[in-house]
Structure 1
Amino acid sequence: MFEAVVSLCLTLSDGPCRDQLLSGHEAMTREACIASLAASAPSLGSFDGLGVLGDPTCKPMAEPLEVAEVAAGVFVHMGLIEEPSKTNRGDVSNLGFIIGTHGVAVIDTGAARWTGEALWRAIRLRTDRPVTHVVLTHMHPDHALGAAPFSEAGAQIIGHANLPRALSDRQANYLESLERLIGSEQFLGTQAVPIDQVVQDRLDIDLGGRVLELRAWPVAHTAADFTVLDQNTKTLFAGDLIFHRHIPALDGSLNGWQAVLAELQKMELTRLIPGHGGPALDWPGGLAGMKSYLNALETDTRAAISEGARLGEAVEIIAQSQAAHWELFDAYNPRNATAAFTELEWED
């Protein structure tokens, strides 16, 4: 299969440069790909500020993301249980897509444009149906910054009602930090895209013979947590409301997160897809690790506050009993303990 690309450079004088996918022109032959480009010349406006090295052209399809079919028509890419780096190129979160008879919905798009491009290729290798929707489960950059190739192809970007504000407030910092972590070449062309539709409560989308239930949650992992339930297979894409192996990261409300987990537990599911780990967890057993960690975080934090411990002292002891059960524990637990202590010490 062939795809259309254009080579873009940070600066034309000394690079770095990277081929950027022009989605929607895939074809079985180079001639057909070139004909598609000629029939519908792609806009390069989204690459303003970068140097264009030559005209768009067609090349053999580059490497797709690896995905697993966890249920009929439901595919998941499992990110590495690591912090973003130049070695892993930011491929550290779970992404997925669901295929209906009329269209495809993508759930999360990764940390950079290259991730979204590679996910697009994985879809194109399995169906030629249009990608009609992209659902972003929250604003963290490892889930949200690869959406541009889908937006450029006409997909509707959907998220929590709080998502546009959350992205706007953090966008500059996210773009700067991710570029530093994974390197300018791999990050080239990455940008946040506008959210086309926001959801206050729930929304159903029909992919053709397949209805997805989208649900916005109260403040929990973040202030913009959003889930996708495939009603056909009872598969829930939980985003970072559920972590597996990778220690949870608290960027919202501990009390709120525990309340949301209690609501999730009432759902009738077959499996869930966590934001990290998995890639598919049994139900309801997949909740056990999350509940155990958050309960330890709450119990130890309340005990430290009751004993009059200072924040710096408390952070050293809170949830330490959980250390053996989670990867990246030392990177995240002190932040979680700080957030929990700050939240709970001001309760009435």
Structure 2
Amino acid sequence: MIRLATIATFLATTALANEDIADQYPGSLLYSPPVEFIPGVFSAIGATAPPTYENAGHNNNLSFIVTGEGVVVINGGGSYGLAAALHDEIRARTDEPVVLVVDENGQGHAMLGNSYWAEKGVPIIAHVDAAAEFEDRGAQILQAAERVNKDRHAGTTLVGPTETFDGEYVTELGDYRIEVRYLGPSHSAGDVVVWLPNQSLVIAGDMAFHERMLPIFEDTYTLDWLDTWDTEFEALKATYVIPGHGHPTNMDQVRKYTKGYLEYLRGKIGEHLDSGGGLAEAYYVDQSPYAHLDTFEELATKNAGRVYEQMEFE
């Protein structure tokens, strides 16, 4: 078993997440270069900030696994250029070909780079709900990304996954059993995790957050997310966690800032409802214990309003 000290070593050799740092890797469209977290598993950590021209829309984690029998990429990337930049980094580290791309959900930073991987003939998989989300909202997602990234979005077209699955997709390559699992409703439609049972590592995607505040969308049902967390995600008993945003960490950290935050906010909104409070005041319930998280200013009030609207009818 790889020692837990790996996490401390990894963090000591990478810059801390900070949404005020525009770009940590000026020579590439990637926000930061990939770093090997445990043997064979790499992640290029995106900005813990909204997408900007400076970060080229790389504000999520782009991970890959060098299996000995081919490379598996987790997330198509936020553009054709970002996918190409990641591929350059992969080729600098191994001669193995990319044999599979996993889209962790139907958001732009997971799927817009599919256009690059499809051009290379690489199979791309996603959950059926993520594929449907991208098909439904893809044009809107593409236009929004083009407005931000301008010339850095060149070559990006709408390409969905080449294969979809419902419950799980499993492949075995080299020493890696790779289980792509849909655990249940969480952050967005079709969110999946990539579980490596032999390494006790989960590439959690947007199931888990810790350095930046999680966003609650209009269709993010927090009660369902908590149920999925308790019944399925905790059952993995993962030693290592690569979240969708922010540096690799452990279960204690993502539990504190994902499950803990959802429970805290629901508790505050519950108190507000019990006292007869309305939506206008709900936006300003106390979230100060989480004010240190990146994107707090952008998301805290929106999150409170959406939780209020949900809990009002629970």
Which residue matches 1:224?
A: 190
* Structure 2 residues without counterparts, runs of 5 or longer: 1-26
- Say whether residues 1:275 and 2:244 are aligned partners: yes
- State the secondary structure of the residue aligned to 1:70: strand
Which residue matches 2:21?
A: none
Whether the 8 Å contact between 2:79 and 2:112 is mirrored in structure 1 is yes
Q: How far apart in 2 are the matches of 1:238 and 1:339?
A: 23
Q: How far apart in 2 are the matches of 1:123 and 1:294?
A: 36
Which residue matches 2:62?
A: 95
Q: How far apart in 2 are the matches of 1:193 and 1:305?
A: 44
Which residue matches 2:154?
A: 188
Write the letter of the residue equivalent to 1:266.
Answer: A
- Of 291, 300, 311, the match for 2:259: 291
Deviation at 1:64, TM superposition (A): 7.6
- 1:1-348 matched pairs, under 5 angstroms: 63=28, 65=30, 66-182=33-149, 184-251=150-217, 252-262=220-230, 263-278=232-247, 280-317=248-285, 319-347=286-314
- State the secondary structure of the residue aligned to 1:111: coil
Deviation at 1:208, TM superposition (A): 3.0
Deviation at 1:238, TM superposition (A): 0.4
- State the secondary structure of the residue aligned to 1:118: helix
Write the letter of the residue equivalent to 1:231.
Answer: P
Q: How far apart in 1 are the matches of 2:128 and 2:78?
A: 21
Which residue matches 2:20?
A: none
Deviation at 1:172, TM superposition (A): 1.4
Q: How far apart in 2 are the matches of 1:109 and 1:194?
A: 10
Alignment deviations for residues 224-282 of structure 1 (CA, whole Å, 9 cap, x no partner): 1101012331211100111121100113210111112213122132200011111x102
Q: TM-score, normalised by structure 1?
A: 0.77
Q: How far apart in 1 are the matches of 2:296 and 2:208?
A: 16
Whether the 8 Å contact between 1:77 and 1:95 is mirrored in structure 2 is yes
Write the letter of the residue equivalent to 1:265.
Answer: E
Whether the 8 Å contact between 1:134 and 1:156 is mirrored in structure 2 is yes
User: Hey, which of these two has a bigger chunk of strand by percent?
Assistant: 1
Write the letter of the residue equivalent to 1:74.
Answer: V
Q: How far apart in 1 are the matches of 2:136 and 2:254?
A: 32
Identity percentage of aligned residues: 30
Deviation at 1:338, TM superposition (A): 2.1
Q: How far apart in 1 are the matches of 2:200 and 2:165?
A: 21
Whether the 8 Å contact between 1:243 and 1:274 is mirrored in structure 2 is yes
Whether the 8 Å contact between 2:183 and 2:233 is mirrored in structure 1 is no
4+ residue segments displaced more than 4 Å: 62-65
In the alignment of these two chains, the number of paired residues is: 283
Q: TM-score, normalised by structure 2?
A: 0.85
What value does the CA root-mean-square deviation take over the aligned residues? 1.7
Closer, same or farther in 2 for the Cα pair 1:261/1:325, shift >3 Å? farther
Q: How far apart in 2 are the matches of 1:83 and 1:63?
A: 19
Whether the 8 Å contact between 1:111 and 1:144 is mirrored in structure 2 is yes
Q: How far apart in 2 are the matches of 1:224 and 1:342?
A: 22
- State the secondary structure of the residue aligned to 1:325: coil
Write the letter of the residue equivalent to 1:277.
Answer: G
- State the secondary structure of the residue aligned to 1:322: helix
- State the secondary structure of the residue aligned to 2:72: strand
Deviation at 1:63, TM superposition (A): 4.3
Deviation at 1:83, TM superposition (A): 1.3
